[in-house]
Structure 1
Amino acid sequence: MPTFSPLATRMLDAALAASKVILEHYQQHIEVERKDDGSPVTAADAAGEAIIIEMLRDLDIPILGEESVADGKIPQLGSRFFVVDPLDGTKEYIKRNGEFTVNIALVEDGVPTHGVIIAPALNSAYIGTPDGSYRAAIENCVPQAWERISTNPKMECKIVASRSHAHGAIKHFLDEAGPCEDVSVGSSLKFCLVAEGAALHYPRFTPTCEWDIAAGHAILSHAGGALIEATGQPMRYGKNDTDFLNPYFAAAASPACAIKCAEIMMRALEKAR
C-alpha cells in the first residue's frame, strides 16, 4: 500500500467527502440551472465545492474553484494553488450515466504536481503524486487496495474522442492516426483511461478550463504520460488573463506520443479550415 503525504491525503479526504454529498444529491431529483455561459449547474456542484473549500481552507493555499469563479470570487493565486472542479461532467450527472467526477489538483509554478479524481457513482478513485499514480475501488467511501497505474505507449491506437460530439478536425485526426478504436468516457475519466493504459491519445479540439484538466494532467504525468498544448508548448496554469481557458491540447501515453498527437492535431486543424 502506498503512503501518501499529508497534503495528498488531505486532498483525497476532501474529494471523498464531496463525493459522498454529491451522491446524496444524485439519488434525489436533480434541479438544473444555467450559468451565464449556458452550461448546466446543479445544487451538487455548489455543495461539493463548499465542502472541499472548508476542508482545505486551513492550509492557507489559494483555491481556484469552478463555482467560485462563476460567482466572481477569484483569489490571488501566486505560485502555489489548488484547482477544484467539484462536479466535472455535469451533463453526465444529469443523464445519470455515472461518468462524472470530483477533481482536486495542486499547481506549483504553473504545473499540476498532485491530482485526485473520484468517480462517485462508479466507486473509483485515482490519485497522482510525485511518487506515482494509483487507482482504487471505493467501498463505503473508503478506497481499497491502491494499485499503481502506468500508461502504455506501445499499445494499439485507442483514442479518447468522439466523432459525433467533437470538432470537425477529429475526422482528419483519425484519418492520419487511425485505425483507432474510440474508447471515450465522460468527464476527466478520459485522462484516467490514458493513465491506466486503456487509451493512447486524447486530442482535445473543444474548449476546457483549468479546473477541467488539472487533476487529470497530474495523474497522467505521474503515470508516465504527458499533456501539451496542440502547438507543442507546455500547458501552464493560472491563466487569469484568459479567464482560465485552455488552448487545444494533446494528452497521450508518453511525451513522445503527446508530441506526435499535437503534430497530427495541427495538421487536422489546417485541413478542417
Structure 2
Amino acid sequence: MTTAMPTDEGLTTLVLDAAVAAARVILDVYARPITAVSKSDGSPVTEADAAAEAIILEYLRPTGIPVLGEESVAAGIIPTLGDRYFVVDPLDGTKEFIKRNGEFTVNIALVEFGLPVMGVVLAPVTGETFIGDATGASFCNTLSGTASERTSIAVASADRLRIVASRSHGHAALAGLCQTLDVEADVSVGSSLKFCLLARGDAQLYPRFTPTCEWDTAAGQAVLEAAGGAVVTLDGERMRYGKHNVAFLNPYFVAASSMELARRAAGEMTRLLA
C-alpha cells in the first residue's frame, strides 16, 4: 500500500509538531546541569542537540523526504538530497543554550530546487514560534505543547532602520554599515530569531559578516521571505541551498525587510569589505 504524500499544509503542520516535540526534549535537558563538548570545528554541542534531532528525524521519516541535519552531518551522515529536502538545526544557538539566556531555537525548513519554501523557527523557552510557507508568515505560541491561534506577520519599513546584530558574532565592518545606512538602533538577539524579528516588523536589517551553515539560516529565510522580506548574498542574488562542494557553508549575506534594501546593504557590505 502506498501512503499519499502530505499536502503542503499538512507538511507545515507536521514540521510544527516535530519542532514542538524537539522543544520538549530540549527543555528537559535545559532543566538539568548542561555538559557541552566541542565538535571538530570547535563549536559546542550538548546532549540536547542529538536528542532533539533524533525526535525530528522520527517525525519527518514517514514523508520519505531526505533530511540534511546538523548533527547527522557532523557524524558524517549526508543523504542524497535531490531537488526537495528538509534542513534541520535541532538546536540553533548552542552557545546561548549554554549561557542559559533563552535565545536558542529549533529550525526546520523545506528546500525545493535550492530555495527554502517552508520553515518553522521555535524558541523553546518562550514558546515563540514563527512559521513561513506558501500561505504567508505567521506567529503562534507553543509553550503549552500545542500551537495557539496563528497570527499573520509581515515586514515593516521604517524612516530610520533598526538593525539586528549577532550577540555572539560581531564584525568590525558593522559600525561602518550602521553609519552609512543611518541605523537608528540595534536589537541584539541570538540564533535565527534575528530573521524572525525582521519578519515581524521589529527590525529591518540583518547583515551577516561571519560564517553560517545552511541549517542555521534555511528556516529563518523561509519565514522572512514569506513575510515579504529578502535574503541575498553579496552579489545581490537570493541565498541558495545545497552547497555540497563547500560543506554547506553560506557566503556572507544580508537579510532585510525588502529586496531593495537587501541589495543596497549588500553593495555597502561589499564596499566595506574591499
2:198 to 194, 213, 217: 194
Q: Is the 8 A contact 1:123 1:139 kept in 2?
A: yes
Choose which of 9, 15, 29 in structure 2 pairs with 1:5: 9
Residue equivalent to 2:61: 57
> Counterpart of 2:150 in 1: which secondary structure?
strand
Worse-superposed segment, 3-12 or 88-97: 3-12
| Partners of 2:143 and 2:91 in 1: CA distance | 20
2:182 matched residue in structure 1: 178
Of 138-147 and 62-71, more deviation after overlay is shown by: 138-147
Aligned mates of 1:140, 1:32 — CA distance in 2: 28
Aligned residues: 268
| 1:258 equivalent among 249, 253, 262 | 262
> Which shows bigger deviation, 238-247 or 255-264?
255-264
Partner of 2:20: 16
Give the superposition deviation at 1:177: 1.2
Distance 2:226 2:60 in 1: 23
| Structure 2 counterparts to residues 148-159 of structure 1, below 5 A | 148-159=152-163
Q: Which residue of 2 aligns with 1:106?
A: 110
The correspondence for 1:39, drawn from 13, 26, 43, is: 43
Q: What secondary structure sits across from 2:142 in the alignment?
A: strand
Please, which runs of 5 or more residues in structure 2 have no aligned partner?
1-6
Q: Which amino acid aligns with 1:198?
A: D
CA shift, 1:4, in A, is 7.5
Q: How far 1:162 sits from its partner (Å)?
A: 5.1
Say yes or no: does 1:82 pair with 2:86.
yes
Q: CA RMSD in A?
A: 1.5
Percent identical across equivalent pairs? 55
Q: Distance in 2 between matches of 1:7 and 1:184?
A: 32
1:122 aligns with 2:115: no
SS at match of 1:143: coil
What is the distance in 2 between the residues matched to 1:163 and 1:141? 28
**Could you tell which deviates more after superposition, 148-157 or 44-53?**
148-157
Query: Aligned residue for 1:208?
Result: 212
* Runs of 4+ residues deviating >4 angstroms: 162-165
| Mapped partners of 1:74, 1:119: distance in 2 | 26
How do 1:64-79 and structure 2 match up within 5 A? 64-79=68-83
Q: Which moved more, 1:230-239 or 1:242-251?
A: 230-239
Q: Which residue of 2 aligns with 1:143?
A: 147
Alpha-carbon distance in structure 2 between the residues aligned to 1:161 and 1:178: 15
- Say if 1:45 and 1:168 are closer, same or farther in 2 by CA, change over 3 A: same
| Match status 1:230 vs 2:234 | yes
SS in 1 for 2:82: coil
Quick one: which amino acid aligns to residue 151 of structure 1? V
Confirm or deny: 8 A CA contact 2:128 2:143 kept in the other structure: no
1:162–1:60 CA distance, 2 compared to 1 (3 A): closer
Q: List gaps (5 residues or longer) in structure 1.
A: none
